[in-house]
């Protein structure tokens, strides 16, 4: 029984117990009531970890760059950070656990207690991945990590949104005009706070920077808004990683100076609340007796038998949260 009570696990994780932390993240990945309980407890304890999203096309070298960034942060004597890393792999939504590859690539930190790396995957539908990732950030925050890096592949709306929900979002491209254009089409430039041309060792980095600046000229932020700096890196050798960290801290300082950090975080929480409400309604609609799924309700609207307002009533009438799911004490273990 011991070690399975979420409250105790959170307590132990906050005290530095990595096994308890891993168990909490598994609970979050599994979803359901267990995940909610963990989220609740972790949220109360969370201290406002700074989150960094790292995203880009497959093959842009995100994992290696994240690895290099973590190494830099752990070696930086003046300002040593405890870093949690979440590698989100939505291309494997059904593996239901960790992706070994990412772990292996990051084994350089295996002996470092100040680094914790976890691959996230989510069973079930995609909305679950975004919610599970946010709750996993909460857990790492509650466990005392002041910095959390969330790495996702920049393909697909959900994954782009996950990366964009960080305090600072780093978009990674490799040299070549095609990459800048692809990043733009995938909506990555819109969420970028810092741009990285990685794999500078391959050559063509200068042209890539110029291309990115051109695209930014077309689709970038309005005057007066933060303009994403473009940093050139070569991750395996660690080239440019200090400059990348400087760009991130520069963005953080700008957010803090203008009060935008708090405003962004508040907006994220409001969005999350809306998503949780919808998720809960949709989940419960799918199981409520005689009601059918959310999709079945949409079918009724399409057929003209229900209008959206009446369908909303149906959802809201039949989907009261069960008493056992409310914020009472955890079930006796």
What CA–CA distance (Å, rounded) separates 168 from 165? 8
User: Is the Cβ of residue 117 or residue 189 nearer to a copy of itself in the bound state?
Assistant: 189
Q: Please give the Cα distance from 81 to 148 (Å, whole number).
A: 10
Q: Specify the residue, 108 or 178, whose C-beta has the smaller distance to a copy of itself.
A: 178
Cβ of residue 198: shortest distance to a copy of itself, in angstroms? 21
> Does residue 307 belong to the site contacting a copy of itself (CB under 8 A)?
yes
User: Judged by CB under 8 A, does residue 19 bind a copy of itself?
Assistant: no
282's CB contacts (< 8 A; 6+ apart) are 293, 294
Q: Could you give the string, one character per residue 52-81, with x where binding to a copy of itself holds by CB under 8 A and - elsewhere?
A: ------------------------------
Residues 250-289 that bind a copy of itself (CB under 8 A): 265-266, 269-270, 272-274, 276-278, 280-281
- 213: contact with a copy of itself by CB under 8 A: no
Q: Which of 309, 304, 56 is nearest to 175 (CA)?
A: 56
Which of these ranges, 66-74, 92-100, 150-158, 298-306, lies near a copy of itself under the rule CB under 8 A? 298-306
Cα distance from N-terminal residue to C-terminal residue, the chain: 6
Closest approach of a copy of itself to the CB of residue 216, in Å: 11
Smallest Cα–Cα separation from 202: which of 234, 161, 248, 245?
234
> Could you give the CA distance from residue 65 to residue 116 in angstroms, rounded to a whole number?
16
Nearest CA-CA partner of 59 in 179, 169, 158: 179
Tokens 């009724």 belong to residue: 300
The contact set with a copy of itself (CB under 8 A) reads 36, 39-40, 43-44, 46, 181, 184-185, 215, 217-220, 222, 265-266, 269-270, 272-274, 276-278, 280-281, 294-295, 297-298, 301-302, 304, 307-313, 315-317, 319-321, 325-327
């Amino acid at each position: 029984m011991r070690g399975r009570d979420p409250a105790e696990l959170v307590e132990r994780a906050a005290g530095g117990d990595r096994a308890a932390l891993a168990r909490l993240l598994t609970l979050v990945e599994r979803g359901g009531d267990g995940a909610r309980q963990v989220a609740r407890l972790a949220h109360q304890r969370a201290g406002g970890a700074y989150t960094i999203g790292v995203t880009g096309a497959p093959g842009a070298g995100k994992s290696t760059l994240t690895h290099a960034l973590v190494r830099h942060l752990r070696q930086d004597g003046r300002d040593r950070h405890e870093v949690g890393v979440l590698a989100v792999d939505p291309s494997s939504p059904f593996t239901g656990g960790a992706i070994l590859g990412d772990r292996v690539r990051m084994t350089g930190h295996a002996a470092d207690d100040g680094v914790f790396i976890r691959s996230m995957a989510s069973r079930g539908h995609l909305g679950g991945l975004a919610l599970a990732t946010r709750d996993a950030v909460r857990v790492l925050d509650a466990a005392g990590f002041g910095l959390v890096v969330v790495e996702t592949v920049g393909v697909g709306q959900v994954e782009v949104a996950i990366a964009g929900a960080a305090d600072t979002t780093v978009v990674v491209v490799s040299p070549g005009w095609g990459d800048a254009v692809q990043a733009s089409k995938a909506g990555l430039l819109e969420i970028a706070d810092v741009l990285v041309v990685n794999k500078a060792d391959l050559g063509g980095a200068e042209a890539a920077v110029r291309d990115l600046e051109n695209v930014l000229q077309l689709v970038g932020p309005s005057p007066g808004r933060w303009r994403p700096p473009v940093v050139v890196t070569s991750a395996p050798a660690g080239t440019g990683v200090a400059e990348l960290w400087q760009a991130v801290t520069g963005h953080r300082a700008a957010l803090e100076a203008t009060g935008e950090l708090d405003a962004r975080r508040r907006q994220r929480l409001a969005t999350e609340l809306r998503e949780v409400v919808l998720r809960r309604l949709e989940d419960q609609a799918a199981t409520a007796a005689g009601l059918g799924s959310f999709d079945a309700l949409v079918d009724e609207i399409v057929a003209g038998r229900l209008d959206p307002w009446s369908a909303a009533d149906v959802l809201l009438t039949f989907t009261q949260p069960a008493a056992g799911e409310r914020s009472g004490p955890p079930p006796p273990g």
